[in-house]
Amino acid sequence: MPQSATQWGRTPSLPPTHYVDSRIYTDQTLFEEEQEKIFEKVWSLVCHESEVPNAYDFRRCQHMSGKELLVIRGKDMKIRTFYNQCPHRGNVIAFEPSGNAKRLTCIFHLWSFDTKGNCVEITREKEGFQDRLSKKDVGLREVKTDLSAGGFVWVNVDDDCGPLEEFIDGSLDCFQHEFSTKPLEIISYHKAIVPSNYKLWHDTNRELYHEYLHRHNRMVAVMQPGYFDRLYHIFGNGHMSADPMDTRYDAYEGYGGEQRKLGWPGGGDTIHKFSDLFPTMTFNLRPPALRIDTMVPLGPDKTIIEYRGLGIKGDTPAERAERFCDHNAVWGPFGRNLSEDQIAVVGQMMAIKTGRDNSYILHGREENGAHDDICLRHYYSEWSKRMGRSAADPFNEQAAVAAE
């Protein structure tokens, strides 16, 4: 039945683990706290090693905290990451999105740096600084960098962080064969700036029952045998993965009734599997292509979502074309999947950011299978722990209301 104003504002009759206060998606103070307590503390994936394949290649990336980074492959073929910021008077070092340079020279006063972050040139150093400051005192700010299986480049701006492997906690083990049989290579990149909260996008990636939204997914997955039997697996630090299942491409009329023939080395030809890592990363394999989502939250209601498509290094031109075509048919900017998801999360944000009356978002499904909300509850348990606030009651108001 319709709800009165009083009923609408009432806390749901579910345990507080099974809903969140919608203000965690809209509140500016909470967003700034997330930057400090989450984005600046966890490992985040910024690109793939194939985006800097050769010695001296560099690529600009934006860290989820908003900081500009430079990912560089040195002469020793090691990948390092630095702030894209000159230690002299703070100018950006690289303006180009990517390139190849033995030396990185700031355009402002021509200080130069090598690919290990050492300052190698200060113009008129002796005349200007005598013995008070020298090149060794002013290198670039290095950011902890590591590679995970599959060649993904991860960074952490917290110098005191634990190891990457500990952070991932086995949540990518389900891709063990697919990420190690042959090297991967980037085949597609696009990004969207979406007027919505980053958590809403991630929520959508880690629950399957929104697939009713996608006609393509309904046909090739939801209506197929075994779909509802898939179980979720949760890992430390808020991560999850799901049991794989075969995608029935032949059930979608747009594919001419044909199953996929080009598979993925180390994996099945049509197997679909995915992992979502707290707070902003998604790995989604549906051969013949792999999709990776990462996010840069710009504010509570504005998020950059970066989408990478990956194939196999050494693909023939025909294989590469097939992977690219299939990736874009589903996950490209005009594909059958992402734009529909974007409409949904923008719609959520449009509604929940209006008005001052409190409302709740439910994560209450319990059905021990593909449509359970366990992974959303797991995500917000991690969020609550890191923030030191309950996602269901972020401003600690419920006790006061109960006492009235």
**Contact partner at residue 37 from Fe ion, ligand FES, none, CB < 5 to 8 Å by partner kind:** none
Binding region for Fe ion (CB under 5 A) out of 108-116, 223-231, 290-298, 341-349: 341-349
Of 75 and 89, nearer to ligand FES (C-beta) is 89
Q: How far is the CB of 123 from ligand FES (least distance, A)?
A: 8
Q: How far is the CB of 60 from ligand FES (least distance, A)?
A: 16
Of 189 and 209, nearer to Fe ion (C-beta) is 209
In angstroms, the Cα distances linking 311 to 31, 146, 250, 285 are 35, 21, 22, 10
Does position 341 interact with Fe ion (CB under 5 A)? The reply is yes
Q: How far is the CB of 92 from ligand FES (least distance, A)?
A: 9
**Contact partner at residue 95 from ligand FES, Fe ion, none, CB < 5 to 8 Å by partner kind:** none
C-beta separation of 261 from 246 below 8 A: no
Of 28 and 123, nearer to ligand FES (C-beta) is 123
Question: What SS3 state is found at 153?
Answer: strand
Per CB under 6 A, the list member of 50, 68, 98, 109 interacting with ligand FES is 109
List, in sequence order, every residue forming a beta bridge with 21; answer none if it has no partner.
Answer: 360
Question: Residue 66's closest CA among 388, 295, 240, 219?
Answer: 295
C-beta separation of 51 from 91 below 8 A: no
d(CA 22, CA 16): 13
Binding region for ligand FES (CB under 6 A) out of 2-10, 108-116, 222-230, 288-296: 108-116
Binding region for Fe ion (CB under 5 A) out of 230-238, 239-247, 284-292, 337-345: 337-345
Q: Is 131 exposed, middle or buried (0-12, 13-18, 19+ CB in 10 A)?
A: exposed
Of 46 and 376, nearer to Fe ion (C-beta) is 376
d(CA 222, CA 276): 20
Question: Residue 373's closest CA among 349, 381, 386?
Answer: 381
Size of the site for ligand FES (CB under 6 A): 8
d(CA 385, CA 237): 10
**Contact partner at residue 91 from Fe ion, ligand FES, none, CB < 5 to 8 Å by partner kind:** ligand FES
Greatest Cα pair distance in the chain = 80
State the residue number with the nearest CB to Fe ion.
341
Residue with tokens 């990185």, as numbered in its chain: 104
Of 86 and 143, nearer to ligand FES (C-beta) is 86
Where in 68-107 is the site for ligand FES (CB under 6 A)? 86, 88-89, 91, 106
Q: How far is the CB of 85 from ligand FES (least distance, A)?
A: 9
Of 85 and 241, nearer to Fe ion (C-beta) is 241
Residue 23 structure tokens: 């203000």
C-beta separation of 239 from 277 below 8 A: yes
Of 17 and 337, nearer to Fe ion (C-beta) is 337
Phi and psi based region of residue 149 (left: phi greater than 0; alpha: psi -120 to 50; beta: remaining): beta
d(CA 301, CA 24): 11
Residues that bind ligand FES (CB under 6 A): 86, 88-89, 91, 106, 108-109, 111
Residues that bind Fe ion (CB under 5 A): 341
